[in-house]
Amino acid sequence: NAGVTQTPKFQVLKTGQSMTLQCAQDMNHNSMYWYRQDPGMGLRLIYYSASEGTTDKGEVPNGYNVSRLNKREFSLRLESAAPSQTSVYFCASSTADEKLFFGSGTQLSVL
Amino acid sequence: LAKTTQPISMDSYEGQEVNITCSHNNIATNDYITWYQQFPSQGPRFIIQGYKTKVTNEVASLFIPADRKSSTLSLPRVSLSDTAVYYCLVGGDYAGFQKLVFGTGTRLLVSP
pLDDT tens digits for range B63-103: 999 999 999 999 999 999 999 999 998 876 554 445 677 87
Query: Residue B3 has what pLDDT?
Result: 76
A11-15, A31-35, A41-45, range with the lowest pLDDT: A41-45
Question: Chain B residues with CB inside 8 Å of A2's CB?
Answer: none
pLDDT tens digits for range B5-60: 999 999 999 999 999 999 988 888 888 899 999 998 899 999 999 999 899 999 99
The DSSP line for B71-91 is: EEEEESS--GGG-EEEEEEEE
Closest-CA residue of B relative to A105 is: B43
**Residue A40 pLDDT exceeds 90:** no
Question: Chain A residues with CB inside 8 Å of B99's CB?
Answer: 45, 48, 56, 58
What value, to the nearest 5°, has the Cα angle with vertex B26 and ends B98 and B45? 50
Q: Which runs of E-coded beta strand occur in chain A?
A: 4-7, 10-13, 19-25, 31-37, 43-49, 56-57, 64-68, 74-78, 87-94, 100-102, 106-110
The rounded percent of chain A whose pLDDT value lies above 70 is 99
Query: Residue B98 has what pLDDT?
Result: 54
Mean pLDDT over residues A30-44, rounded? 91
Query: Residue A2 has what pLDDT?
Result: 78
* Rounded Cα distance, B95 and B80, in Å: 42
Which of the four pLDDT bands, split at 50, 70 and 90, describes residue A1?
A: low
How does the average pLDDT of chain A come out, rounded? 94
Query: Residue B95 has what pLDDT?
Result: 47
Q: State the alpha helices, DSSP H only, in chain A.
A: none
Strand partners, B11: B109
| Buried/exposed B1-32: b ≥16 CB within 10 Å, e otherwise | ebebebeeeeebeeeeebebebbbeebeeebb
Query: Residue B27 has what pLDDT?
Result: 85
Confirm if A35 and B43 have CB atoms less than 8 A apart. Answer: no
User: Best residue in A6, A35, A98 to probe B by mutation, most B CBs within 10 Å?
Assistant: A98
Query: Residue B30 has what pLDDT?
Result: 81
Query: Residue B100 has what pLDDT?
Result: 76
Strand partners, B109: B11
A84 in helix, strand or coil?
helix
Mean pLDDT over residues A13-38, rounded? 96
pLDDT tens digits for range A65-111: 999 989 999 999 999 999 999 999 999 999 888 889 999 999 999 99
Query: Residue B96 has what pLDDT?
Result: 44
